[in-house]
């Protein structure tokens, strides 16, 4: 839905179309309400049409927040990778010593 809204305003029914095979309309409406409550989209009323659009400022705030965690997890995975390399090299060296003894 956010990807679709990145192309411009869309009605609730336009946003729902790609998902109607897998989700009910009430579930889609709830999802849109969650996005609206989170401030990621805004929904207005123009007669019978309810156009939705992205809230760029909120999306930037969210992206900044996610970026902090991305950096944290990348650093954590780098440390884990380094640790696993030392463990596997140590175990590999032990295995070679045991093979020599036989």
What tens digit of pLDDT does each residue of 57-76 get?
Answer: 998 998 999 999 999 999 99
Look at residue 98 and tell me whether its pLDDT is greater than 80: no
Give the mean model confidence (pLDDT) for residues 44-53. 85
Q: Is 55 exposed, middle or buried (0-12, 13-18, 19+ CB in 10 A)?
A: middle
Give the mean model confidence (pLDDT) for residues 68-94. 88
Confidence band, pLDDT 50/70/90 cuts, at residue 96: low
pTM, two decimal places: 0.63
Domain range list for the chain = 2-54, 65-102
* Local structure of 41: helix, strand or coil: strand
**Could you tell me which CATH class the domain 2-54 is placed in?**
mainly alpha
CA-based radius of gyration for the chain? 25
């Amino acid at each position: 839905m956010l990807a679709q809204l990145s192309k411009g305003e869309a009605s609730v029914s336009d946003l729902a179309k790609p998902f109607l095979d897998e989700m009910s309309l009430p579930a889609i409406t709830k999802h849109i309400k969650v996005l609206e409550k989170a401030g990621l989209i805004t929904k207005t009323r123009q007669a019978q049409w309810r156009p939705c659009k992205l809230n760029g400022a909120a999306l930037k705030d969210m992206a900044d927040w996610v970026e902090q965690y991305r950096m944290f997890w990348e650093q954590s995975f780098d440390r884990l990778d380094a640790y696993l390399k030392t463990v596997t090299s140590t175990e590999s060296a032990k295995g070679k010593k045991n093979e020599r003894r036989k």
